[in-house]
Structure 1
Amino acid sequence: MANYSLSKPVCQLDENNYFVGMTVADLDPLNTNGNYLIPRLCIIADEPELKAGYIPQWLGNAWKYIEDHRGETVYSKQTGERIRISELGALPDDLTTQAPLPYSEWSEKAGTWIEVSDADELRLLDKRKNAGMLNRNQILTQIELEHGENKEKLVEIAERELTGAHLVKVRNTIMEAQTFTLGNDDIWQFFSETLNIDQDRLFRLWEEAKNNYN
C-alpha cells in the first residue's frame, strides 16, 4: 500500500484566476488512492514566481504575468489630475507616473512635463491672487507714505492718464471700494503701469501695508 503525504501544497486563486497565495490540500481519509481534497478556487500547480509590479494569473495550463499598479498614484497627461489606480493591467497611454511640474504640460516627444510658454505670466497671476486683500485705508495710506499721492491725487492721475471703462473702474475703486486686491487687472495696471511701481516693490508695499495697518 502506497504512503501518501497527509497534505500537499496547492495554489489559491481569486474569482478571476489571479494568484492569491499558497495553501494546502488535505489527503482524503476515505480514499486510499492518493486523492486530495482540493479547496475551492485552488489548483495543483507549481507556485508562480513573484515579480515586482506584476501578479500571476492562471490560464488553465500556465501562468501569465499581469501588470499590477494598484495603489499607485499616477497623473493624467491632459490635465495633470492625480489618480489612484485600483484596477489591474498596464497603465493607459494617457497616464504617467511622473508628477506634473507647476505651470507645465506633458510633452509626448520629450516623454516628460515641460514648462508652458506663458509660465512667467501664470506665476505672476497666481502671486497677485495669493497676495490677499487690503482694505482701502491700508493700501491708500501706504501709497501716500511711499509715493506722496493721496486719494484725491490718485483720482487726478487716473483721470489724466486713463480712459473709458478702465478709468471708471479705477476711479470707483479708489473712491468707493471697501477692499483692494492685486488680482484686479484694472488696479494692477494702474499701480504697476500708470504709477510705475516696480512689481517687486508693489508686492513689498502690499505686505508692508498688511503689517503696518492691521
Structure 2
Amino acid sequence: MINYYFDNTNELKPYTHQLDANDDTLPPDNALRVKPEFKEGFHPCEKNGEWLLVEDHRDKTVYNIETQESYRVEYLGTIKEGFTLLEPFKFSRWNGEKWVLDEDEQNAFKIKQNKMLKSSLLNEANENISILQDAIDLDISENGDEDKLKAWKKYRVLLNRIDASVINVIFPDKPY
C-alpha cells in the first residue's frame, strides 16, 4: 500500500509526495490511499477524500491587463482576475478578450518621433549653415561653399514648413 500525501496547510490541498504505507494502518489525515491522476497543465489536489485536477500555471508568465507588467505564476488554480497568459505587444491594449493595437498610442509615438527627428535635422542644418556662413564671412570659403550654404538654407526652410504631427510625414532630402 501507498500513502499519497497532500499539503493540508494549503487551501487547495495539493499532492506533495508518496510513501509506502503499513498494511495494518489507516492513512494519516494528510494522505489518501487512492493514487492521484496526473495530466499535463493540471495538478492533483485533495477535496472531500478524493483527488481532483486543478489548473497548474506555475512558472508561466502572466500579464497585467492594465499595466502590461509581467509576473511569474507561483500558485495553483485559474489565472487571477486582471491577468492573462497572452503576451502584449508594442502599442497594445486589452479589449476584454485579447490584446489589440492601440492606434492612438501608436500615432502619438510616431508624432513624438517625427518631432524629435525634425528638431535633430534642424539642429544639423543650423550647424552646417553656421559653419558655411562663418567661412564666407571670414573670406576663407572654399569653392562651392556658397552653393552649399544656399542648399542648406533651402533645406532648413523646407524642414520648418513640415508639420511633424502628420503621421506619415516625408522629410526633405539633406543636401550634400
TM-score relative to the length of structure 1: 0.53
8 Å Cα contact 2:3/2:19 also seen in 1: yes
**1:112 lines up with 2:98 in the alignment:** yes
Question: Which of residues 79, 83, 90 in structure 2 aligns to 1:91?
Answer: 79
Structure 1 residue ranges (4+ consecutive) displaced by more than 3 angstroms after TM superposition: 125-131, 133-139, 141-147, 198-202
**1:78 lines up with 2:95 in the alignment:** no
Aligned to 1:20: 16
In 2: Cα distance, 1:102 partner to 1:12 partner: 45
Aligned to 1:9: 2
Aligned to 1:201: 171
Aligned to 1:5: none
* TM-superposed deviation, 1:23: 2.0
For residues 95 and 137 of structure 1, do their structure 2 counterparts lie closer, same or farther at Cα, with a shift above 3 Å needed? closer
**1:45 lines up with 2:38 in the alignment:** no
* TM-superposed deviation, 1:12: 2.1
In 1: Cα distance, 2:129 partner to 2:76 partner: 60
Aligned to 2:139: none
**1:35 lines up with 2:31 in the alignment:** no
Matched to 2:79, the amino acid is L
In 2: Cα distance, 1:74 partner to 1:139 partner: 48
1:15-61 deviations in Å (ceiling 9; x for gaps): 33310132212x4xxxxxx42496x7752421111122221111242
In 1: Cα distance, 2:35 partner to 2:20 partner: 12
* TM-superposed deviation, 1:136: 8.6
Identity %: 21
Aligned partner of residue 193 in structure 1, secondary structure: coil
User: Greater helix percent: which structure?
Assistant: 1
8 Å Cα contact 2:163/2:169 also seen in 1: no
For residues 86 and 191 of structure 1, do their structure 2 counterparts lie closer, same or farther at Cα, with a shift above 3 Å needed? farther
8 Å Cα contact 1:103/1:122 also seen in 2: no
Aligned to 2:134: none
* TM-superposed deviation, 1:107: 1.2
Structure 1 portions without partners, runs of 5+? 1-7, 28-33, 158-188
Structure 2 portions without partners, runs of 5+? 131-147
